[in-house]
Structure 1
């Protein structure tokens, strides 16, 4: 439920919604440090001509920021949580954006075999950022979500840049497939989920496809890879 409250942060307006804006998120928005590493980093590697594919779009703040403030050509948001996907659409409409689109689906590695029904169980938790494909604990609900190959999503979006925050899915998402037109990949590494072996698997997969670690933009667990 929204009470008419709107947060303003770095040129982006975010409507309050009790189901989406948790007290923790609200506090970060009020402090002005919500997704701060991404806000500081994205202007350093995104250009107006870039077409961005964002995996794990959350509440739509970063997509709104890069579409509205940086002014990239287009942003395609991929978000598995149906409630968040709906909120992102509202977010983009509030900004008056015409250079964005939202897909409620799960991206899977290009070389993976999809289930016959082409859907997967997505486990929704509170807070929303704990939701994932892993059954685990503290599940609030389960949604059946369409799967799409990452290579297909890249081709459809004509993406030149990826922004990836998928709660451990980064371990496998770059395995196989074709990264096509993508030249920049900004990914958050969730060490608590994927552990050192998963980090190595992520780096190895991208290295095999010709990407290198850009230390000038990378910071802590958020890493930029560029195509050689």
Structure 2
């Protein structure tokens, strides 16, 4: 049995197997997902249907449900250990009915099977990128992003996948999505990768929303009348 840490109204089990000292310091200092969470109240509506790629420890999904009243959330996380922990976080916050899927999302046109995923410490450094050093590698089922969005009838997509965003939107079918909230990782994808994200989303009819975006957390809205 572990005590809970509290962050912005969300209870997080203080399990050292997941919440290492570096992660714990970030939570206690309220730095963990600070920019991302600060932006959510500026564009999220309780009626939104949200798919979150890279759900981590389940903090953002728990914040959406407990603090913003969102009733429909689906969490996609590549690390199966974190998928189990997400369930514990949701339970600690009396959250039920949130789907948690152990998977990697692929854009349309890419064959799906399994993806090689590289687990690192702290958990937020894990990615599909083989370098730098990793703790272990695992195979994770792949799903078409368009299928996930369509099946859930999502209108909001939140993405924090440690560099995997670089090619995620290339020719993607974002179905009924109206808002894309994206964490860009400059150190992973560089300026060319960021340009590609912006270009691909622009080609899909989305525009950068300066009023919400802060630091690496960037909101794109679908342009009406397209």
Alpha-carbon distance, 1:34 to partner: 1.9
Q: 1: distance between equivalents of 2:6 and 2:52?
A: 22
Aligned to 1:104: 102
TM alignment of 1:38-49, pairs within 5 A: 38-49=36-47
- Structure 1 residue matching 2:85: 3-state secondary structure: helix
**TM-fit CA distance, 1:189:** 0.6
Offset at residue 161 of structure 1 (A): 0.5
> Are 1:79 and 1:106, in contact at CA under 8 Å, matched by a contact in 2?
yes
Q: Is it true that 1:139 corresponds to 2:134 in the alignment? A: yes
Q: Could you tell me which residue of structure 1 aligns to residue 5 of structure 2?
A: 7
Mapped to 2, the partners of 1:55 and 1:69 lie a distance apart of: 20
Contact 2:102 2:140 in 1 (8 A): yes
- How far does the alpha carbon of each residue in 1:42-101 deviate from its partner, in whole angstroms, 9 at most, with x for none? 011000110110000111101100011101121100000111111001111221112411
Provide the secondary structure at the position in 2 that maps to 1:178.
Answer: coil
2:114 to 119, 138, 141: 119
**If the length of structure 1 is used for normalisation, what is the TM-score?**
0.94
Q: CA deviation at 1:142?
A: 1.2
Contact 2:120–2:126, Cα closer than 8 Å, also in 1: yes
Matched residue count: 223
Given that 2:105 and 2:144 are in contact with CA atoms closer than 8 Å, whether structure 1 keeps it comes out as yes
CA–CA distance in structure 1, aligned partners of residues 46 and 93 of structure 2: 18
Whole-Å separation in 2 of the counterparts to 1:200 and 1:31: 32
Indicate if the aligned counterparts of 1:50 and 1:72 stay in contact, CA closer than 8 A: yes
- CA distance in 2 between counterparts of 1:216 and 1:170 reads 22
Residues 1:204 and 2:199 are matched in the alignment: yes
Structure 1 match to 2:165: 170
TM-score, length of structure 2 as denominator length: 0.95
CA distance in 2, matches of 1:133, 1:154: 21
Q: Give the corresponding residue for 1:85.
A: 83
Q: CA deviation at 1:188?
A: 0.7
CA contact (8 A) 1:6 1:14 kept: yes
Q: Output the CA distance in 1 between the equivalents of 2:191 and 2:2.
A: 44
